[in-house]
Amino acid sequence: MKTILHGNNHREVKLEHGNVHVFANDEVFASFGERVYQMADNNLRIPRNVYFSYTPDAHVGVGTCIGTTAVWNLSDGFVSPSIVGSDIGCGMRLHLTPLHRDDLKDKSLKRALIEAIEAYVPTNERGNTHFTDIRLEEVVKHGLQGLPSNYIPDTEAAPDTFSRSFSHVEKYTFEFDHSFLEQIPQKSWSRAWGQLGTLGGGNHFIEIQHIEIAEENREIAKAWGLFDGQVVIMIHSGSRAWGAMLGRDYTKSFKEVMYKWGIHNPEPSLVYAPIQSEEGQQYLNLMYSALNFAVTNRHMIGFSVEQAFRDIFGRETRTPVLYDLMHNYALKESHRNTPVLVHRKGATKALPAGHFQNPKAYRKTGHPALIPGSMGTSSYIMVGSEAGAKNFYSICHGAGRVRSRKATKELVTIDQFEQAMRVGQEDEIMVNHRSLASILDECPQAYKDVDQIIDSVVGANLASVVAKCNPLIAIKGV
């Protein structure tokens, strides 16, 4: 492989079928294995690719590495369910609270908060929704606009203003041709309806954190309503069974049409079709329905967590959303005066101040980009830089796994996990599981060093840190 150095943690690696741009510092870049580049080369076999890159958290996934940004022109390009990922619309949400970390020193209070959250948010993998009055059809068609008004909490508090629930999200509704929903079998509707407002397993979480403001962005933090020591709520979840069903079914259907067309790729799990083909249009339209489910699912989790906070800290407690954004999707965007389809698989959009795609609430500052670490490590709130245009305004989506779940269970002991969570110490990060063994595959040792990931992004001038988020409580699904 030949590598072109562009400076500022930016390298361009020349592969047989195209080039992959890699944004990573020297230490992170050296950690990428051969399989990461092999997957990039196989992805670059898809015709007419405009751009392909890895963020520093890139690691091997199904068909495509997590941490990928891949771009095709809308006019003659391709769409790939593999480059979107199976958890369509998976993303991050952060809510503010009026509390200071000193308000959550007491361990018995933390335990009470954990139990209150679990009473409102189902954390088992299959889920069992509490929101039986919400029509799933309205949610997948209209996103947050498909919810009854009683689930938009800030409307009641400020009835004459545009709800923060709509103004402080990447997008509150994704428009598509609703006739494609006729293809969805009834059993998929039933299962997905039962999961609205549920957390899910794997790397999904609700985390209670306290923040430290970065000095260089203190004015932005103030504009966003952040203060040192503030308790915040970070949520990571996606489209649950609805997105999983679409990802599974369209991976299968795309494989069938690729076989029919005589298209072969050495990556057996990598599927794709022309954007303008019947299959491409079916997938794109239904993918947007999953994005509507995902943003609504996180909204309902946030709504539920606020109820728990009100139970513990008083009925007047409010937890307004700071921002909600996704990191698994393919979006129609305009870059360099050209309409394109930008795939982000485990990559976060980070727009700078003044960019026209920012929501109105963040037009002057740029929007918050939410980057989780891992259990026991810090997360970050960032803001995009103008230089991010070179990577289609994509940054990392988290720390990125450094070893598989199976390998983690084989290599990491419970004692090591307990040390990372500071069990028994005054600053112990409390979890909702009585035994850490049940979530060992999500321990900090399973992930890359998030500080190295953030250093890579900052050094590449893609974004800068607004606040560091330190964990107090971690709630994981099972």
Per-residue pLDDT tens over the stretch 336-345: 889 999 999 9
Q: What mean pLDDT, rounded, does the chain reach?
A: 94
Per-residue pLDDT tens over the stretch 374-389: 888 999 999 999 999 9
Token code pair at residue 444: 């900090």
Mean pLDDT, to the nearest integer, of 100-124? 95
Of residues 404 and 17, more confidently modeled: 17
Mean pLDDT, to the nearest integer, of 42-55? 98
Residue percentage of the chain with pLDDT more than 70:
97
Catalytic residues: 397
Mean pLDDT, to the nearest integer, of 284-313? 97
Q: What pLDDT does 123 receive?
A: 87
3-state SS, residue 129: coil
Domain of residue 229 covers 90-325+351-393+447-476
Residue 218 lies in a domain: yes
Q: What pLDDT does 402 receive?
A: 85
Residue 142 lies in a domain: yes
3-state SS, residue 199: coil
In sequence order, which ranges of 168-239 are alpha helices (DSSP H)? 186-193, 218-223
Residue labelled with tokens 């920012």? 358
Q: Cα(77)–Cα(150) distance, rounded to whole angstroms?
A: 42
Residue 198 lies in a domain: yes
Residue 51 lies in a domain: no
Is 385 in contact with 462 (CB distance < 8 Å)? yes
Q: Cα(335)–Cα(330) distance, rounded to whole angstroms?
A: 14
Confidence of residue 159 (pLDDT cuts 50, 70, 90): very low
Q: What pLDDT does 477 receive?
A: 83
Mean pLDDT, to the nearest integer, of 20-45? 97
- How crowded is residue 124: how many other Cβ atoms within 10 Å of its Cβ? 12
Residue 232 lies in a domain: yes
Residue 109 sits in a domain whose CATH number is: 3.90.1860.10
Q: Cα(99)–Cα(206) distance, rounded to whole angstroms?
A: 17
Residue 16 lies in a domain: no
Contacts of 380 (CB under 8 A, 6+ apart): 370, 371, 373, 450, 454, 465, 467, 468, 469
Binding-site residues for Mn(2+): 87, 204, 236, 327
Residue 316 lies in a domain: yes
Q: What pLDDT does 201 receive?
A: 86
Q: What pLDDT does 160 receive?
A: 40
Residue 84 lies in a domain: no
Residue 453 has pLDDT above 50, yes or no: yes
Binding-site residues: 87, 203-207, 236, 327-328, 372-375, 379, 397-400, 476
Binding-site residues for GMP: 203-207, 327-328, 372-375, 379, 397-400, 476
User: How many domains, in total, are found in the chain?
Assistant: 1
Residue labelled with tokens 């509507």? 292
